[in-house]
Chains A and B, each alone.
Chain A
Amino acid sequence: MEASHFDERSFFSAVHASGVRALLIGRRALVLLGLPLLTADYDYWIAIDDIERFNTLAAAFQLHPTRTAADARRHGRYVLENDEHVDVLVARSLPTLHGSPVDFEGLWTRRHTIDVGTVPVCIPSLDDLILTKQIASRPKDLEDVRLLRILKESPR
């Protein structure tokens, strides 16, 4: 495996500068919101039309896609990897375990931004993060749902 020179803030900056519609989802989004969680991976949900631009910016960080853009569109997801691992959802819509559709466009419209240094990072709203956790619906996702519910229901 080729070693990357991954600098997270530079990566976020490149994502922002590229104009790619990219939402940081998964536990890093929860950490930005103030939940002290541990995670090894990055998780993004990007617009299906922006795969090529996302891959181009990722290439500058020695992150390589596991599928071609066309193949990623068919499968709805792919991975950018090196010694970092970035899971990328590209589907226009994915169902929750209960079968409710979660649409990227809706998430994007309702997105929030959080500054990391001077770089705005886009994340879904709290309600939408709870929805994204219902797509994979693994035990750890349910734990995250409870944490998000507590955040949502707490006076801020």
Chain B
Amino acid sequence: MIPQAVEAAVSRVVSPDELRLALESTIPAAEREEVLELVRWFTTWYASGEARLPTCARPSRNGNALMQLGGEDSPD
């Protein structure tokens, strides 16, 4: 059971300013490189769509987390 306050926080509609920032703000190089490194790792180990989909098919604790590089989902 998800507490109501948490549910409200994750389900709320963001403000127009928050959306504008997400669409227009400069993404820091470090964030960009971290994401692209994850993509490279993911698409190397799970090279096809068929391989990738089963990895996402479970509930996440917070519903919005990227997998951890080398974490429990790593085939290593």
Contacts and interface: CB of A to CB of B under 8 A. Distances in A.
Contacts of A154: 32, 36
Nearest to A40: B59
Contacts of B36: 150, 154
Given A36-B73, A114-B49, A140 B56 contact: no
Contacts of B64: 139-140, 143
Contacts of B41: 36
A10 to B, nearest CB: 12
Contacts of B19: 97-98, 134, 137, 142
Could you tell me the dominant secondary structure of chain B's interface residues? helix
Contacts, number: 116
Question: Which secondary structure dominates where chain A touches chain B?
Answer: helix
Interface in B49-76: 49-50, 52-60, 63-67, 73
A74 interface: no
B5 interface: no
B27 A117 contact: no
Interface of B: 9-14, 16, 18-19, 22-23, 27, 31-32, 35-36, 38-39, 41-43, 48-50, 52-60, 63-67, 73
17 contacts: A8-B57, A28-B56, A32-B52, A35-B38, A36-B52, A117-B50, A137-B13, A138-B14, A139-B14, A142-B18, A142-B19, A149-B27, A150-B32, A150-B35, A151-B39, A154-B32, A154-B36
